[in-house]
């Protein structure tokens, strides 16, 4: 496997990394960029724990090759916050006590952010559909949905 340099745009900053073009993006984010918020779950793009935004689209980073992220903005859960201010989704998850172990939440938060960007006023059924492929073993789905709806309301009021 030949390695080369890749220029990435991660959470608003520029980063040059070296790797094989087919290296899963999650390994670059966690190991080379020290962004530990993105979780490794199943490794097959099925559980949702590793989702990040690539060019605004929620994708499983365990199943996204490095070449696919080159030159595109990548946002991890750490990139949702602006400075010290939590993203409204992050605050709503705290307010609704939507986390138990928290393992799945980074992917859920990222997917929810993508949903609210395209649909700032989703119905409960639309939130459930958008998050359907994200597995949460702790059973906090109802609180997660309430948190997304709360954040949507907060974001609409602030706009």
Residue 28 has pLDDT above 70, yes or no: yes
Joined tokens for residue 77: 């859960």
Q: What percent of the chain has pLDDT over 70?
A: 99
Residue 152 has pLDDT above 90, yes or no: yes
The owner of tokens 């935004």 is 53
Domain boundary, last residue among 50, 79, 108 = 79
**Are both 93 and 150 inside the same structural domain?**
yes
**Are both 73 and 99 inside the same structural domain?**
no
Tell me what the pLDDT averaged over the chain comes to: 94
**Are both 62 and 113 inside the same structural domain?**
no
**Are both 136 and 108 inside the same structural domain?**
yes
- Mean pLDDT confidence for 16-38: 96
Q: How far apart are CA 82 and CA 11, in angstroms?
A: 10
Number of domains in the chain: 2
**Are both 96 and 43 inside the same structural domain?**
no
Is residue 1 very low, low, confident or very high in pLDDT (cuts 50, 70, 90)? low
Tell me the backbone φ, ψ of residue 148, rounded to 5 degrees.
-65, -45
The CATH number assigned to the domain holding 133 equals: 1.10.150.120
**Are both 38 and 14 inside the same structural domain?**
yes
Q: What is the DSSP letter of 72?
A: S
pTM listed for this prediction? 0.93
The CATH number assigned to the domain holding 20 equals: 3.10.20.30
- Mean pLDDT confidence for 61-73: 97
pLDDT in tens, 89-139: 999 999 999 988 888 899 999 999 999 999 999 999 999 999 999 888 888
What residue numbers bound the domain in which 29 lies?
Answer: 3-79
Q: Are 81 and 90 in contact (CB under 8 A)?
A: yes
**Are both 7 and 68 inside the same structural domain?**
yes
Q: Are 67 and 8 in contact (CB under 8 A)?
A: no
Residue 63 has pLDDT above 90, yes or no: yes
């Amino acid at each position: 496997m030949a390695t080369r340099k890749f220029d990435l745009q991660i959470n608003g900053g520029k980063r040059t990394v070296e790797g094989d073009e087919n290296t899963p993006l999650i390994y670059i984010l966690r190991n080379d960029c020290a962004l530990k918020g993105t979780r490794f779950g199943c490794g097959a793009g099925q559980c949702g724990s590793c989702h990040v935004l690539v060019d605004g689209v929620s994708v499983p980073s365990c199943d996204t090759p490095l070449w696919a992220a080159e030159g595109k903005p990548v946002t991890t859960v750490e990139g949702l916050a602006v400075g010290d201010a939590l993203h409204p989704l992050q605050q709503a998850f705290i307010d609704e006590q939507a986390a138990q172990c928290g393992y799945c939440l980074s992917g859920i938060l990222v997917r929810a952010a993508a949903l609210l960007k395209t649909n700032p006023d989703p119905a409960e059924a639309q939130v459930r559909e958008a998050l359907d492929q994200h597995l949460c073993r702790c059973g906090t789905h109802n609180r997660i949905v309430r948190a997304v709806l709360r954040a949507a309301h907060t974001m609409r009021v602030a706009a």
